[in-house]
Amino acid sequence: MTRFSTLLSVTALLAAALPISPAHAAPPRDVDDLVGARGSSGENALQSRGYRIAKQNGLTNYWWNSAKDQCIRVVTYNGRYDAIDSASDGDCGHGGGNTAAAAVAGVAAIGLIAALASHKKSHNDSSAQHDSEYERGYHDGLYGGDYDRNDSEAYHSGFSAGNAERSNRLAANSQIVRGAPAAAQRACARRGDEFQNVPAGSSVPVSVYPQGGDRYEIIVASGHYRSRCTVTGNGNVMSMDPY
């Protein structure tokens, strides 16, 4: 083997062994201090500065500030804001005639409310300390944070609920779910909220089974509950059953 080919082999091995971090643009000045913040505290800070969540895709969220006409992209890794950079108005559903992606404020808060309500119903525990520990665990699970080994029962339950919600959101963005018409997905999600008696916006489609013709069976997740929704492509729900 020549010296040059040996050098190439070593370089390839090093490249495979070392993690590669994506390059990100410098964050806008009004939010640059939030890089590295925990997901839950970062959300509170963004909301207090006039931002509202506009779109979510796995662990990447787009936030819109109407006062500044500014869209930012926030990437969460290991429970913290790993990167924040500017995004186009269209990414937040503004400008370019794109009005389809309307802002959805408090998506994580809705999921937390539904999960905590379900937990209280099962465990009959409503102390302030319990709720705080549950919320901390929920956000760690939701944003892919490390599990706190020095946990309480409330933290463990919250982490499990948050991790399940994270899986639901990832599944809701999958190619499989996108195989059903948007009208059918929205109709089943709304019916899922009613069927499981959870706050509006809690339920998301997680899998789709075409039934032939214009009929679909959509599995809807409402926290850790599941429902089977039979629906037509134009959003006519024919049946809703436990799954």
pLDDT above 50: residue 102: no
Indicate if 147 and 182 belong to the same structural domain: no
Indicate if 191 and 165 belong to the same structural domain: no
Indicate if 190 and 233 belong to the same structural domain: yes
How much is the pLDDT for 171? 63
Residue 140: which domain range? 126-171
Dist. CA 239–CA 231, nearest whole Å: 7
Dist. CA 206–CA 165, nearest whole Å: 11
Indicate if 163 and 179 belong to the same structural domain: no
Measured CA angle at 171 (ends 166, 174), to 5 deg: 135
Q: Is 109 helix (H, G, I), strand (E, B) or coil?
A: helix
How much is the pLDDT for 172? 63
Number of independent structural domains in the chain? 3
What mean pLDDT, rounded, does the chain reach?
75
The verdict on residue 154 lying in a domain is yes
Q: Point out the domain boundary residue: 144, 171, 198.
A: 171
Write 165-168 long-range contacts (CB < 8 A, 24+). Answer: 165/111, 165/115, 165/138, 165/141, 165/223, 166/141, 166/142, 168/204, 168/206, 168/221
Indicate if 190 and 212 belong to the same structural domain: yes
Q: Output the pTM of the full model.
A: 0.45
The verdict on residue 232 lying in a domain is yes
Integer distance in angstroms from the first to the last C-alpha of the chain? 61
The verdict on residue 43 lying in a domain is yes
pLDDT above 90: residue 191: yes
Indicate if 140 and 167 belong to the same structural domain: yes
Q: Point out the domain boundary residue: 44, 63, 90.
A: 90
DSSP category for residue 89: G
176 with 190: CB under 8 angstroms? no
**pLDDT tens for residues 211-230?**
989 999 999 988 777 899 99
Classify residue 180 as left (phi > 0), alpha (psi -120 to 50) or beta.
Answer: beta
- Tokens 């059903």 correspond to 180
Indicate if 235 and 195 belong to the same structural domain: yes
Indicate if 149 and 184 belong to the same structural domain: no
Dist. CA 136–CA 99, nearest whole Å: 34
Q: What is the mean pLDDT of residues 94-110?
A: 46
The verdict on residue 14 lying in a domain is no
Q: How confident is the model at residue 206 (pLDDT cuts 50, 70, 90)?
A: confident
Indicate if 145 and 196 belong to the same structural domain: no
Indicate if 161 and 219 belong to the same structural domain: no
Query: What is the CATH classification number for the domain harbouring 54?
Result: 3.30.920
* Residue 198 CB neighbours (<10 A): 21
Indicate if 44 and 77 belong to the same structural domain: yes
